[in-house]
Amino acid sequence: MFKSSSCLFFFFLWLGVFLFIMEGRGSAVNTPASRPVTRRSKSYGRSCVEAPSYFWQTPGHLAVLKIPTSRGTAKSQTITNKVDPEHIALLVKNEWKLSYVTPLHHFRHTQLKSYSKHLSAFIVAEKQQGVAVEVGLEAGFKVTFIAVLGLAETDEDAETVFIQIQSKLVFAAVADAPKVVWRGWLTCVNGDPEYLRSLPPDFVSLPLFCTSGPESLTTLVKSWFERAFDCNFGSLALNSTTLNWLAALWTGCHPTCNIRHLKLAWSLPTQPPLDVSYTVNPQDAWELWNSIHPEESTDDLIDIKEVQSFINGLETHFFRHFKIYLSAGTLVKVSTVLGSAHLDGKIKIGNSDYITTLLTLLTECALLKMAT
C-alpha cells in the first residue's frame, strides 16, 4: 500500500520507542486490531483492498538492541551437511551489495512460487511503463524464489530466501538458455532473540538483503517488496569496527583454515587522499592475534578490546617501517581467503565453512542499522 505522511510519523515514533525503551521490560507485543480498509491501485501479489498493517504503531514493549562488546570465536562447520550444496554455491564467490529491510508483513515461505509469478509480472509491467532495465533487449523475465533451508541457527531465525531473475534476449536462438541477470537473498542468522520474539505473528524478519546485478533491477525488486509486504529498505554501509572484527575473527581461523593472506586497506585524510594497501603474512598476523587471545584459552569469547589491540599492533608495525600513522585514517577493506568486506557495504563469501560467522555479524549490523 502507498504510505501517507501519518504512516511516516508513526514509523519514526516506533523507532524512537525501539531505541530508548528500558532493558528488562517485557517484550510481548499484541497483534494490531482491525483497521480501516484502504485501497491500492495495483496488488502484485496481495489483495487490492485490505487493512494496513500498522506495525509501526503496535502497542507493547519492544526489545532493545545493544552493540555487543564481545562475541564467540569463528567456528568451522561443514555447512553442506545441513544446507543443499547447490544452494550454498549460489551464495559464495559472488560480490554482494548489502541493504537492510524492515520486517515483512504477511510474508509466507509457503507462497514462494506465487511470489515468483507476481514479481515477474511486476517487472514486465514497470518496463512497459518506461522503467529502464539495464539488461539489453530482453523478451521477458523469469523470477525464481528459493528457500535456502538450514542457514537459520535458532528457532527465531527465519529461513533464508534466494531470488534469481533470468532473461532471454529477443534475438537469442531457441535452444539458448536464459541468462541470469540478477540475484539477491534475504537472511537472518542468529538474529537478536528478544527482538525477533517481540514481533507480531504476522511479521517475518529477514533483515539482511544481499544483491548482485543491475541497480535498476534491485530498485524494482525493492519496490515490489515494499508494496507487497509493507516493508522499507535502506543501504547498509559497514563501519571500521565491523571490519576490525572480521580481521580478527578471520585471522583466528588460520590454524584450521589457511587464510593465505590478510589484506587491509586504509584511506588517509591527506590532500590528495592517500590510499594504503597493507598485506600481512598470515602466520605473522596469527602470531600477533595469538599473543592477544591465546589459542589454548578456555574462553571462547573475544572482547572488543582484544580486537582493538590486534589492529593497533598491525598499525604500529606499519608505522615502524613506513612512518605513516594508519590510525589517522579509516580502515575501508579487509580481505582473506575466507571472504572480503568493504566499508561501502560490499562483501564476498570465500569459504562456506565460516559463512555463519560472517552472516551473524552482518545480521547484527542490519538490525542495528534498521533501528537508527
Domain-by-domain residue ranges, the chain? 71-235, 240-354
Extended strands (E) in the chain: 38-39, 49-50, 70-72, 95-101, 104-105, 138-148, 160-169, 179-187, 203-204, 208-212, 233-235, 262-268, 274-280, 301-303, 330-336, 339-342, 346-349
State yes or no: pLDDT of 32 exceeds 50: no
Q: Which positions ≥6 away from 279 have C-beta within 8 Å? A: 261, 262, 263, 264
State yes or no: pLDDT of 4 exceeds 80: no
User: How much is the average pLDDT of 104-119?
Assistant: 97
Backbone φ and ψ of 298, nearest 5°:
-80, -10
User: How much is the average pLDDT of 311-330?
Assistant: 97
Q: What is the pLDDT of residue 283?
A: 97
Q: What is the pLDDT of residue 65?
A: 78
The pLDDT tens digits of the residues spanning 53-111 come to 444 433 223 456 788 999 999 989 999 999 999 999 999 999 999 999 999 999 999 99
Lowest mean pLDDT among 94-103, 118-127, 260-269: 118-127
Residue 127's pLDDT band (boundaries 50, 70, 90)?
confident
- CA-to-CA distance for 114 and 87, rounded, in angstroms? 20
Looking at per-residue confidence, does 205 or 40 come out higher? 205
Q: What is the pLDDT of residue 10?
A: 42
Q: Which three cell numbers stand for residue 232?
A: 522499507
In the chain, the percentage of residues whose pLDDT exceeds 90 is 70
State yes or no: pLDDT of 163 exceeds 50: yes
> Chain-wide mean pLDDT for the chain?
84
The pLDDT tens digits of the residues spanning 272-303 come to 989 999 999 999 999 999 999 998 877 789 99
- The dihedral through the CA atoms of 279, 281, 283, 288 has a sign that is negative
